[in-house]
Structure 1
Amino acid sequence: MDWERDHAMLALRIDRLATGGLSGTMLIYRGPAEWSDRVAAEPPAEPAALAEEAERLMECAPDPYLAAHVRAMRAVAGHLGGERLPLAEYGRECLGLEPRWVPEEVFEQAHAELDRALPGTPGSLAERLRAWQAAHTLEPIERLPELVDRAVAETRRRTNAIIPLPPGEVVECRLVEGVGFHGAGAYEGGLKSTIHINKEIPFNLADLLYLVAHEGHPGHIAESMLKEAHLGERQRVRFMLSPSFVLSEGLGLLAEELLFPGDEAQVWLNANVLPEAGIRPDGSDFAAVHHAKNVLWGVWGNAAFLAAEGRGEAELAAYLGKWSLYGDGEIAGALGLFRPSAMRPYIFGYFHGWELLRPWVTGPDLVRRLLTEQLLPADVTP
C-alpha cells in the first residue's frame, strides 16, 4: 500500500466534498497534480466510505502525528455524513485537544488590562477602543503595501536571528476585497509568498507588526516555507482542521511578542512608520492591547459553544458585543462563523493554541522546533 498516496487522496476527497470543489478552505495541498486531477475528475465520494478509509489509514499510520491528522479527517468525514458529536468532542477529535468554555472572569481581566493600556478618553471601554483604533487608522489604505514591505523586512531580520532563513525570499502584499478575513499569509513555493489584506476593513497601524509577524515571520509563511525545506514530501498535505493548525494559530498570535518583547514593537513603529502617517504617541500601550486581544479570542470559542446549544443570533451578538468589544457592524459580519459547518472547531485553535504555547515557548530552541518539526498539542507540555 502506498500510504502517502492514499492519505493525500483521502484529504483531497474530503476537501472536495466539504467545499464543493473550492480550494483553500480545508486543505493546503502541494502534492502531485495527477492525484488532485484524478479526484477532480471522479464522482464525489460518499462520506461513509471516506470515514472507513480514514479508519483503515489510522491503523497503519507511520507515526502518531499522521495518525492524529487522519483522526481529524475521520471526524470531518463523519460530520459530512451526518454524525453530530458534541462540539467539544468533535473539536477534540479534530484538534488534538479538547476545547473548553473560558470563564468570563478571564475576559474581565483582559478588559481591565485594556482600560489601563488605552488613553483616558471619555466613553465606555468599547468606545475608547474604537476611538484608539480610529486614531491609528491608515489613510489612504493604498499606502499599506509599502509599509507591509518595511515590516516584513524587520520581522524577517529578527526571525533570521532565531533560525536561518533562505536568501532570495519574496513576500508581496496584495490588497483584496470581497473576502471574509482581515489578513492572510500564503506561501506559494519557490520562496514566493503573499500577504493578502482586506482593503474594506480600516487598517490600524498599531497592528502592523502584530499582523505581519502572524501571517509572515515567524508565523504562517515562515512555518510553511521552513517545514517544506526541512520535511520535504512529509509536508505536502496539510489538512487545516487538525492538531497542527492549533499550534500554527497559537504561534501566529504569539509571533509579535517573540520578536518584539516588551514595548519593542511600539518603539519600532514610532521610529519607522507612525510619524509619516501623522500619528503621534498618545500614551497607549500596544503590547498590552495585543495581549488583551489574544485573550479575547476566547470569547469567540464561547460563542461557538452557545451557537451549538441553539442560541439565536441576537443572543450571540449580545455576548460578542459585551465581551469581545466589537461594534455592531463587525459582529454582524462575523455571525456567519457560528452557522453549522464542518469547520466550526477551527475557531478554538486561536485562543487554545496561544494559551498552550505561551508558557512553553521559553527560548529560541522551541521556536525553531515549532518552525521545523511536525508537533502535536500533546507534545507541548511544560
Structure 2
Amino acid sequence: MGCESRKAQEPESDSAASEVLSPEETAAQEDSEDPALDQLARDYVRLVLTLGNHDKSYVDAYYGPADLKAEAEADKASPAELASRAEMLLARLPQTIEPAGDLQTLRTHYLKTQLKAVAAHAHHIADASFRDFQREAKALYDTEPPVQEYAEFDPVLAQLEEELPGSEPLHIRVQQFQEQYRIPEGKLESVFNAAIAECKKRTLAHIELPDNESFKLEYVQDKPWSGYNWYQGNAHSLIQINSELPIYIDRAVDLGCHEGYPGHHTYNALLEQKLVKDQGWLEYSVYPLFSPQSLIAEGSANYGIELAFPDGEKTRFEQEALYPLAGLDPATAEKYQRVLSLLAELKFAENIVAREYIDGKIDRDEAVARFQKYTAMSPEKAAQRVRFVDTYGAYVINYNWGKALVKQYVEQDADLSNARWQKFSRLLSSPRLPSSLNW
C-alpha cells in the first residue's frame, strides 16, 4: 500500500499516445487487400447476425452495413442450418495456420477461430440438452481454464476470518463490513462521473482515441450483471450501471475502467478505427458475445483497472477524491482494500461453482449457497450470479481467467509502465485471440 507509483518513478514517452501497432503489424498494413478473405468476412458477419435471430444475447454490437442486417433478419435458417454454414465457411480457410505476428495471419486465425465458436454456439442452440462447462469454455472462448478445487481457497477464507472476526457466517460479516462503503443513491452520479473522468485521463495519457469518442451513462435495474457497455459504433457507447444491488465505493473505478477507459469502450473504439475504418475489415463491425473475442474483451477490461491504477494508486485516488464525494470516511480505506484484495483472490472459486451448476452436479439453491460460502457473496449477489450463469454459461471464465491471460501477455518482457501500456494498446487494436496471444 505504501509504495510509490511506477508512474512517478519512470520517464514518460515523448508522445501521449503510444504507438499502437508493432513494426511487423505496421508493415502488413501496406499489403492487406485480400478479396477472398473480405468476402468470407462479409459472409461471417451475415452468419453471426442471422444466428442472433435465435439468441437475443448473441449479437452484442453491430455497426456495419444495414443491408446485411436486413438480410439476416429475413433469413429463416434454423440453428442447425447455420452451424452447417459456419462449417462451410471454415472449409474455405487453411486447415492449419502457422503462428505469425503479422496482421494478415492474425486476421485469418481470427476468422477461423471465431467461426468455430459460431458453429459451436449454433449446435448448442439446436440441441441444448447437453452442457459441459469445460467443453463450452474451449469451444466458445478458445481456451481451457484451470480446473480447481474449493480447498485451494481455504487459506484466503481463513485470512478473511482474521480480518473480519465474528460468529455469524463469513459472507454476512463481509456484507455488513461492505455496507460501510456503500455509495448513497443520491451521490452515485457525482462519484461515477469523477471516477470515469480519472480513468479517462489516465488512459488518454497512453492511448490515442478518436476525437469524437463519447458515451452515455444510464442507471438500470433487474439485470444479471453489475455493468454493461453497449457499443453503438462511431466511437460511441451506452454504459449501463445496475443500481438494483448496493454499489460500493470501489466499484466506481472498477466499472469506470472496465466499461469505459481503458476497457470496453476503448477496446471497441480502437477496433473500429484501426481495423474497420483503416483496414476495411468488416468482420470487426459485429461482436458475437459467445466467442473468443469476449475473453480478450473482458480480460483486458479487468486488467485495465490495475494498469491504469498500479500499486496503491486506486486506493489513494478513492481516499482523496471519491470518499469525500460519497460522504464516507477515508481513514478506513486501507483496511477495506485489504478485504477487497482477499475477495479478489476468491474470484476463481466462482468458476468451480459455475462448473458444478452447468454440469448438473448441484442445483440452483446449492449454487447460491456455494457462491456465498466460497466467494463471500451476499445472498442477493449470489442469486444474481446464478442468474448470470443461467444467462451466459461459461462466460464467467472471461473475467478471471481472461484477466490472467491478458496480464501474462502484457507483462511478459515489459517491466515498465510505458512498455505495458504499449503492449496493451497493440492488443486492443489487433485481431489477437487467446490462442494467438503468444504469436
- TM-score normalised according to structure 1 size: 0.89
Question: Residues 256 and 200 (structure 1 numbering): CA distance in 2 closer, same or farther, change over 3 Å?
Answer: same
- Give the Å deviation of 1:42: 3.4
Residue 266 of structure 1 aligns with an amino acid whose one-letter code is T
- Give the Å deviation of 1:185: 2.1
- Once the two structures are overlaid, the 10-residue window that deviates more, 5-14 or 177-186, is 177-186
- Contact 1:48–1:78 (CA<8 Å) still a contact in 2? yes
Question: Residues 240 and 276 (structure 1 numbering): CA distance in 2 closer, same or farther, change over 3 Å?
Answer: closer
1:380 aligns with 2:437: yes
Which residue is 1:357 aligned to?
406
Residue 199 of structure 2 aligns with an amino acid whose one-letter code is T
The DSSP-based 3-state class of the residue aligned with 1:134 is: helix
- Once the two structures are overlaid, the 10-residue window that deviates more, 275-284 or 5-14, is 275-284
Which residue is 1:11 aligned to?
48
The partner residue of 1:304 within 342, 354, 360 is 354
Stretches of structure 2 lacking an aligned partner (at least 5 in a row): 1-35, 94-106, 277-281, 412-419
Within 5 Å, give how 1:88-127 maps onto structure 2. 88-112=134-158, 114=160, 124-127=169-172
- Give the Å deviation of 1:313: 2.1
- Once the two structures are overlaid, the 10-residue window that deviates more, 285-294 or 28-37, is 285-294
Residue by residue, what CA displacement relative to the aligned partner does 1:10-54 show, whole Å, maximum 9, x if unpaired? Answer: 1012111123xxxx54442221111112222333x2222111111
Residue 313 of structure 1 aligns with an amino acid whose one-letter code is R
1:32 aligns with 2:65: yes
- Contact 2:50–2:75 (CA<8 Å) still a contact in 1? no
- Give the Å deviation of 1:123: 5.3
- Contact 1:58–1:70 (CA<8 Å) still a contact in 2? yes
Which residue is 2:287 aligned to?
238
The DSSP-based 3-state class of the residue aligned with 1:282 is: helix
Question: Residues 309 and 153 (structure 1 numbering): CA distance in 2 closer, same or farther, change over 3 Å?
Answer: closer
Residue 58 of structure 1 aligns with an amino acid whose one-letter code is L
Of all paired residues, the percent bearing the same amino acid is 25
Question: 1 CA distance for matches of 2:345 and 2:407?
Answer: 11
The DSSP-based 3-state class of the residue aligned with 2:134 is: helix
Question: 2 CA distance for matches of 1:122 and 1:161?
Answer: 48
Question: Residues 277 and 283 (structure 1 numbering): CA distance in 2 closer, same or farther, change over 3 Å?
Answer: closer
> Greater Rg, structure 1 or structure 2?
2
- Give the Å deviation of 1:73: 0.4
- Give the Å deviation of 1:180: 2.3
1:128 aligns with 2:173: yes
- TM-score normalised according to structure 2 size: 0.78
Residue by residue, what CA displacement relative to the aligned partner does 1:236-275 show, whole Å, maximum 9, x if unpaired? Answer: 0211111111121111222211111111111111111212
1:277 aligns with 2:323: no
Residue by residue, what CA displacement relative to the aligned partner does 1:140-187 show, whole Å, maximum 9, x if unpaired? Answer: x24322322222221111111222223343333211123222111233
Number of corresponding residues = 373
- Once the two structures are overlaid, the 10-residue window that deviates more, 104-113 or 31-40, is 104-113
Question: 2 CA distance for matches of 1:185 and 1:365?
Answer: 24
- Contact 1:114–1:288 (CA<8 Å) still a contact in 2? no
Structure of greater relative contact order (alpha carbons < 8 Å, 6+ residues apart): 2
Question: 2 CA distance for matches of 1:276 and 1:86?
Answer: 46
- Contact 1:227–1:373 (CA<8 Å) still a contact in 2? yes
- Contact 2:259–2:301 (CA<8 Å) still a contact in 1? yes
Residue 365 of structure 2 aligns with an amino acid whose one-letter code is A
The partner residue of 1:213 within 239, 257, 263 is 257
Question: 1 CA distance for matches of 2:308 and 2:335?
Answer: 17
1:51 aligns with 2:51: no
Which residue is 2:193 aligned to?
149
Question: 2 CA distance for matches of 1:262 and 1:286?
Answer: 15
The partner residue of 2:211 within 146, 160, 167 is 167
The DSSP-based 3-state class of the residue aligned with 2:229 is: strand
The DSSP-based 3-state class of the residue aligned with 1:18 is: coil
Which residue is 2:424 aligned to?
367
RMSD of aligned residue pairs (Cα, Å): 2.5
- Give the Å deviation of 1:377: 0.8
